[in-house]
Structure 1
Amino acid sequence: MPALAPSYLSSPTGDHCLSGSLHTGKPRGKIETIEEAPTYIGSPHPGKGNGNILFYLPDVHGFYNNAMLLMDAFADAGFTVFGIDYFRDDPVWKHRKDKDDTTTDPGFDHAAWRSKHASFALAKVPKWTQSIALSYGSESTKYCCVGYCFGAPYVMNSIGPGSFISAGAFAHPSALTDDQFNKLEKPLLLSCAENDHAFPAEKRRKAQDLLQAGGKRYQFQLFQGVSHGFAVRCNLDEPYEKFVKEQSYRGIVEWFDFWLSQ
């Protein structure tokens, strides 16, 4: 008998993940291949490192300017940052009708694309984090992970049973399951939008119920008036959207700073 499809607490990725603005700036990191996956490495400024490693699990757009600049921002906070391109140069934006459109080409099979890359991520992310810890970590290094949209489930898996990662965070998640909340073992920050088709109010409340019932350590950020993608793809020319993006980032940094100091 075939396995039943999982019942999602937050919806899988879809066209609602395509909207947003591109940000300008010059990323300063480098890209190497680790465990068959292109990996962005962002380093803190000399003398500013905290000795810890942050794993970055990107949204459906993969390695684009917004993500790389955000990884650099986490490096500015003292972390050595490793970001994985589990899409391997096949991000969803390459399947748009044209570069200025936020809808996919009519012939694009989003479900097949998602399944292909989710299978790779599920298999590779644990090996990738372990490989980085062995190659770049030391006895005193502590680890954290943050994921956006597509990356959220792999954060949950990474702070589940037997994890060496001390804390996790995600923003505007997709494809989460009840089981991942029930198996959570490390502290989790949830950075959420009021208007999110993938993680609406009733799903957020159920997630909180599961976290409370399981005695998990967690914190919710809930931002009014913003939608899915706010923490990476907001319009920086809109003061409130910029403020919310920065608040999400600062909250995640402070969350990691606290738990990695314990």
Structure 2
Amino acid sequence: MSEPEVATKAPESDAAEGTTSPPSLVPGDTPAQSGASLGEHCVTDRPSPLGGSSGEITKLGEVDTYISKPADYPHAPSKLLFLLTGATGIHSKNNQIQADNFAREGFLVVMPDMFENDPLPGSVTYTEEKDPSVIEQIKMRAVDTIKSFTIDMWLARQTPEKVLPILHKVIEAAKDEFADAVANGGGIYSVGYCFGGRMTLLLAGEKPDTVAWGQQVKDEEAGVVKSGPFIKAGAIAHATSVAREDFEGTKSPLLFVCVENDQLFAEDVREHGEKYLNENGVASEFKTYSGVPHGFGVVGEYEDTKIKVAQAEAFDQMLAWLKHFGFFICDDIKHKGSATNNTLFYFIYVKQRGR
């Protein structure tokens, strides 16, 4: 990005210019940074809950990865779960606690550094200013403008061609390192938050190699080589930067946790995705939460009881979706029939668990 003629703004920023952001639902929170396609929750943490994280950061496929294991692993069987974060990345305490929560539910959680050697500039734990003076407000707005600019530059570099090869390396390493968990679940599962939501969607599809991993077609005369899907099932919370084309080739069951009037996941894109998955027989569910900010699904301390309840409900919903498909896969109950039938099985499963 050193050449001056190269655009420094993410393509999604242009579409957002000229729009008026809805009022913030949380003091100090903004739905988007000056039209950028990442919201405040995508780039900063909410205040973290008390206590520390229980996993560790290690190398997996030569990529820094936060790994959180169930307390009884490997003595008890587990399933492998990819957790793909927003821009705050694997060093965020909130994201680490989120991974630990899934580990306590029996998943061996692998949370890779998707932004390898290119972290978000200024990514720090969220702090809230209390009644700043007029002069301080002016200073803050100037800082926000610079921050927005650097975020747009950073986001423009985080393309599927760059990020997916990193995930591919971790996937291949995880298949070897945690072969028992992969076999137990019949594959790899994934949850994605914000930016990681789009990556989970792409991993759920069968794509040409040129799209999936930024590679050249190996044999042009033989036609385009396709690969994927790379996950058995996925759950996505308040995705960002998703385009209509990202749904093409989707094969794996997907759950979408959405936020009402979310500028970062346009309604027309969501409707297109819902229609595409339904028409192509892919098991899916879309649930929209109202009165909550973008990013609410990630662990964080809120004073608003409604947000706390929604956060817990979204986690349970995602967990039930993943366990449902893991249950049927491991018990060799094949997913025959339409997406409607698969979704019916899911609702029966949730009811049985009392959720």
Which band: TM-score by shorter chain? 0.7 to 0.9
CA contact (8 A) 1:160 1:184 kept: yes
Backbone CA RMSD of aligned residues = 2.9
CA contact (8 A) 1:20 1:235 kept: no
CA contact (8 A) 1:15 1:104 kept: no
Matched, 1:237 2:269: no
Higher strand share: 1
Return the TM-score normalized by structure 1: 0.85
Structure 2: gaps (5+ residues): 1-9, 17-35, 130-139, 207-227, 329-355
Q: Which of structure 1's runs of 4+ aligned residues deviate more than 4 A?
A: 5-8, 47-50, 98-105
CA gap of 1:188–1:6, structure 2 versus 1, over 3 A, is farther
- 2:262: which partner in 1? 196
- 1:58: which partner in 2? 85
Matched, 1:34 2:57: no
- 1:76: which partner in 2? 104
- 1:43: which partner in 2? 69
CA gap of 1:26–1:218, structure 2 versus 1, over 3 A, is same
Superposed, which structure 2 residues align to 1:1-262 within 5 Å?
13-16=37-40, 17-18=42-43, 21-24=46-49, 25-46=51-72, 49-63=76-90, 64-88=92-116, 91-92=119-120, 94=122, 100=128, 104=144, 106=146, 108-118=149-159, 119-138=161-180, 139-142=183-186, 143-161=188-206, 162-232=228-298, 235-262=301-328
CA gap of 1:259–1:22, structure 2 versus 1, over 3 A, is same
Mapped to 2, the partners of 1:19 and 1:197 lie a distance apart of 18
Return the TM-score normalized by structure 2: 0.64
Q: Is the partner of 2:298 in helix, strand or coil? A: helix
Query: Once the 2 structures are TM-superposed, how far is the Cα of residue 110 of structure 1 from its aligned partner?
Result: 2.2
CA contact (8 A) 1:193 1:227 kept: yes
The size of the alignment, in residue pairs, is 256
Stretch deviating more after TM superposition (246-255 or 119-128): 119-128
Structure 1: gaps (5+ residues): none
Q: Is the partner of 2:176 in helix, strand or coil? A: helix
CA contact (8 A) 1:195 1:225 kept: no
CA gap of 1:50–1:180, structure 2 versus 1, over 3 A, is farther
Query: Once the 2 structures are TM-superposed, how far is the Cα of residue 93 of structure 1 from its aligned partner?
Result: 6.3
CA contact (8 A) 1:6 1:177 kept: no
Query: Once the 2 structures are TM-superposed, how far is the Cα of residue 235 of structure 1 from its aligned partner?
Result: 4.0
User: Identity of paired residues, percent?
Assistant: 26
CA contact (8 A) 2:253 2:282 kept: yes
Query: Once the 2 structures are TM-superposed, how far is the Cα of residue 234 of structure 1 from its aligned partner?
Result: 5.0
Query: Once the 2 structures are TM-superposed, how far is the Cα of residue 90 of structure 1 from its aligned partner?
Result: 5.1
